[in-house]
DNA sequence: CGCAGAATTGATACATCTCAAGCTGGGTGG
DNA sequence: CCACCCAGCTTGAGATGTATCAATTCTGCG
């Protein structure tokens, strides 16, 4: 739970795997050099909490590898995941003192962090960063709103299908695989994490996954390894028109 | 439904009621002058649709007075409100062709619109606009995420209490009233609109409002005029810790 | 091997939806 | 001025989807 927290991973921005999608995507070489002045890497093990809601946050950063989740928790323990952070996603809010949500490493995780003060300063002088951050924030806002439809109006089966279809398509895009044939991927979430994302209980998640399996919409090997024979069928189950409202 | 659509409302930015909260909040007088070159006002009656999802949008703009809602609709008619647009809120996304959501005037509505092309151009040259837009977008993202908790995890009663408490506090802030005493305001939404916002049916909304009334948490005069004797009691019902996660 | 965390499955309870019947208040036309 | 009408709302009774509680079963790992 609390082993190698801060780790120095030797990385040059130039050969960063997410260089072209992250907040630094539009930066020129000299701007990257400036960023590198106050950047550092941190690694977390699956399950570790990166930041607690309400805590002071003296950095912002980007997910380099692995998956993290943003969650809110009520006093009585009910929790809702409000964001799934995949590689290239940005964490933290410039101009705010404390963290608004818990950030938890869902898998092993590496983040590229920037000390907040210098980052904020640089944002003011470097439009490339602010521009890219605005673009990313607008995308996240769209994703959040798309998810509001899922949470507010979809049935349990549609919710599961929505989640699977997002993960499947994300994965396909990342690996640059066409979506004509069957899609194969590993679920990065436990049943409980899925439940927290979908506003369900873990039992309902389990039942609905079994149902989709029974109906041949998906195949399972073990608990996590999923095959989707036909993504358009899955998207039909999700209640999306098949051209696909893309999420997250 | 389709009377006075485009209306010229003579307004100088200088005496605009939302001057200090809108996307132009940080603009200098000369920047305001530049904005005024391509700005115009539009008015809508309650119920009118401002933009249809998917339609081409050749403007962006700010709500000056009245309330609008952002909604998504599934093929079978299920709809979810994904945003409530109050005065000073921004509509539209620079850099995108089509509208992502339906925008509907909930009450009579006046908007201050900017032609999109020149606005986009100006965003590149005027950091004050992009900066403010980023700030506003981050706030909206927070609101959307807060709302995900409401949709995913709260009971019907808590949902209603959450909505009422938001509207009550918003109203109090706008009119600069202290929140010690009883709060009095008019609901800007029909029961159906509330249902669409909360992911409920209108019958459930009605029942829960009656229940809150019966329990003395709120008082009603007519259908819309609400009195909240003690906002902290209402917030208790909403499941928020009483210091208050502020929304929207 | 055996344990612990994760997942599945079952039985039942309950919250919310659905369908259906009235109610209310404000506006319109006779 | 009254009667009517209609959209918005309320209330009721029953159906249904999901949660809850509880018991197994899987799976990976020391």
Can you give the pLDDT at residue A247? 42
Average pLDDT of the residues in A117-122: 97
- Identify the band that residue A3 occupies on the pLDDT scale cut at 50, 70 and 90: very low
Can you give the pLDDT at residue A240? 87
The encoded tokens of residue B91 equal: 């509509």
Residue B171 falls inside a structural domain = yes
Question: Inter-chain contact A72–B141, Cβ cutoff 8 Å?
Answer: no
Beta pairing partners, B85: B68
Q: Do A112 and A24 sit in the same domain of this protein?
A: yes
Q: Do B37 and B80 sit in the same domain of this protein?
A: yes
CATH classification of the domain holding A18: 2.60.120.10
Q: What is the pLDDT of residues B142-196, one digit of tens each?
A: 999 999 999 999 999 999 999 999 999 988 988 888 999 999 999 999 999 999 9
- Does A247 or A95 have the greater pLDDT score? A95
Chosen domain end from A128, A145, A169: A128
Q: How far B78 CA sits from the closest chain A CA (Å)?
A: 7
Average pLDDT of the residues in A88-114: 95
Can you give the pLDDT at residue A10? 58
Q: Do B113 and B184 sit in the same domain of this protein?
A: no
Residue A147 falls inside a structural domain = no
What Å value separates CA B143 and C1' D8?
Answer: 29
Q: Do A85 and A180 sit in the same domain of this protein?
A: no
Q: What is the pLDDT of residues B27-74, one digit of tens each?
A: 999 999 999 999 999 999 999 999 999 999 999 999 999 999 999 999
**In angstroms, rounded to a whole number, what is the distance separating the alpha carbons of residues A44 and A2?**
8
For chain A, list residues whose CB is within 8 angstroms of any CB belonging to chain B: 70, 72, 74-76, 78-80, 82-83, 93, 95, 100-101, 124, 127, 130-131, 133-135, 137-138, 140-142, 144-149, 151-153, 198-199, 239, 241
Q: Is the pLDDT of residue A17 over 60?
A: yes
- Does A242 or B91 have the greater pLDDT score? B91
**In angstroms, rounded to a whole number, what is the distance separating the alpha carbons of residues A225 and B42?**
53
Q: Do B121 and B18 sit in the same domain of this protein?
A: yes
Chosen domain end from B128, B146, B173: B128
**Strand D proximal to B221 Cβ, under 7 A:** no
Q: Of the candidates B72, B93, B145, which has its C-beta nearest A149's C-beta?
A: B72
**In angstroms, rounded to a whole number, what is the distance separating the alpha carbons of residues A248 and A229?**
22
CATH classification of the domain holding A169: 1.10.10.10
**Strand C proximal to A28 Cβ, under 7 A:** no
Can you give the pLDDT at residue A1? 39
Q: Do A68 and A115 sit in the same domain of this protein?
A: yes
Residue B221 falls inside a structural domain = yes
Residue B140 falls inside a structural domain = no
Can you give the pLDDT at residue A246? 47
Can you give the pLDDT at residue A8? 47
Q: Do A104 and A161 sit in the same domain of this protein?
A: no
Q: Do A83 and A176 sit in the same domain of this protein?
A: no
Q: Where are the beta strands (DSSP E) in chain B?
A: 39-44, 49-51, 59-65, 68-73, 79-85, 90-91, 102-105, 109-115, 183-186, 219-221, 225-228
Q: Which residues of A touch B80 (CB under 8 A)?
A: 148-149, 152-153
Average pLDDT of the residues in A88-101: 95
**In angstroms, rounded to a whole number, what is the distance separating the alpha carbons of residues B118 and B134?**
18
What Å value separates CA A156 and C1' D21?
Answer: 20
**Strand D proximal to A203 Cβ, under 7 A:** yes
Can you give the pLDDT at residue A43? 94
Q: Do B166 and B119 sit in the same domain of this protein?
A: no
Average pLDDT of the residues in A110-126: 96
Q: Of the candidates A124, A140, A239, which has its C-beta nearest B141's C-beta?
A: A140
Q: Do A75 and A40 sit in the same domain of this protein?
A: yes
Residue B164 falls inside a structural domain = yes
Q: Do B120 and B196 sit in the same domain of this protein?
A: no
Q: Is the pLDDT of residue A30 over 80?
A: yes
Average pLDDT of the residues in A44-59: 94
Residue A170 falls inside a structural domain = yes
Whether pTM > 0.85 for this model: the answer is yes
Q: Is the pLDDT of residue A2 over 50?
A: no
- What's the total number of domains in chain A? 2
Beta-carbon contacts below 8 Å between A and B: 98
- Identify the band that residue A9 occupies on the pLDDT scale cut at 50, 70 and 90: low
Q: Of the candidates B93, B95, B151, which has its C-beta nearest A152's C-beta?
A: B151
Can you give the pLDDT at residue B248? 41
Residue A144 falls inside a structural domain = no
Pair type for strands A102-105 and B79-85: unpaired
Can you give the pLDDT at residue B242? 58
Nearest CA in chain B to A75: B241
- Helix residue ranges per DSSP H, B199-230: 202-214
Nearest CA in chain B to A145: B82
Chosen domain end from A113, A128, A143: A128
Which residue out of A93, A145, A193, A197 would a mutagenesis test of the B interface target, given it has the greatest number of B Cβ atoms within 10 Å? A145
Q: Do A30 and A85 sit in the same domain of this protein?
A: yes
Mean residue pLDDT of chain B comes to 92
Can you give the pLDDT at residue B138? 97
Determine the angle formed by the axes of helices A156-174 and A191-198, rounding to 10 degrees.
110
Q: What is the pLDDT of residues B64-80, one digit of tens each?
A: 999 999 999 999 999 99
Q: What is the pLDDT of residues A162-171, one digit of tens each?
A: 999 999 998 8
- Which domain range does residue A46 map to? 3-128
Q: What is the pLDDT of residues A177-223, one digit of tens each?
A: 899 999 999 999 999 999 999 999 999 999 999 999 999 999 999 89
Can you give the pLDDT at residue B9? 61
Residue B29 falls inside a structural domain = yes
**Strand D proximal to A204 Cβ, under 7 A:** yes
């Amino acid at each position: 739970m609390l082993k190698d927290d801060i780790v120095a991973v030797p990385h040059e921005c130039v050969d960063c795997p997410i260089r072209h999608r992250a907040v630094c995507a539009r930066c020129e070489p000299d701007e990257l050099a400036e960023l590198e002045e106050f950047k550092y890497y941190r690694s977390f093990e699956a399950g570790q909490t990166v930041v607690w809601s309400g805590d002071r946050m003296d950095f912002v950063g980007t997910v380099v590898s692995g998956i993290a989740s943003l969650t809110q928790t009520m006093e009585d323990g009910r929790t809702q995941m409000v964001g799934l952070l995949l590689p290239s996603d940005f964490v933290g809010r410039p101009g705010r003192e404390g963290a608004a949500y818990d950030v938890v490493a869902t898998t092993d995780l590496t983040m590229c962090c920037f000390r907040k003060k210098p980052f904020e300063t640089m944002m003011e002088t470097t439009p490339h960063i602010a521009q890219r951050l605005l673009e990313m924030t607008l995308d996240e806002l769209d994703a959040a709103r798309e998810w509001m439809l899922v949470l507010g109006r979809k049935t349990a089966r549609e919710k599961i299908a929505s989640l699977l279809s997002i993960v499947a398509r994300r994965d396909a895009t990342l690996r640059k695989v066409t979506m004509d044939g069957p899609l194969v991927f590993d679920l990065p979430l436990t049943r409980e994490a899925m439940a927290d994302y979908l506003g369900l209980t873990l039992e309902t998640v389990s039942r609905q996954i079994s149902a989709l399996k029974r109906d041949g919409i998906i195949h399972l090997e073990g608990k996590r390894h999923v095959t989707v024979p036909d993504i358009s069928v899955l998207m039909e189950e999700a209640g999306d028109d098949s051209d696909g409202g893309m999420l997250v």
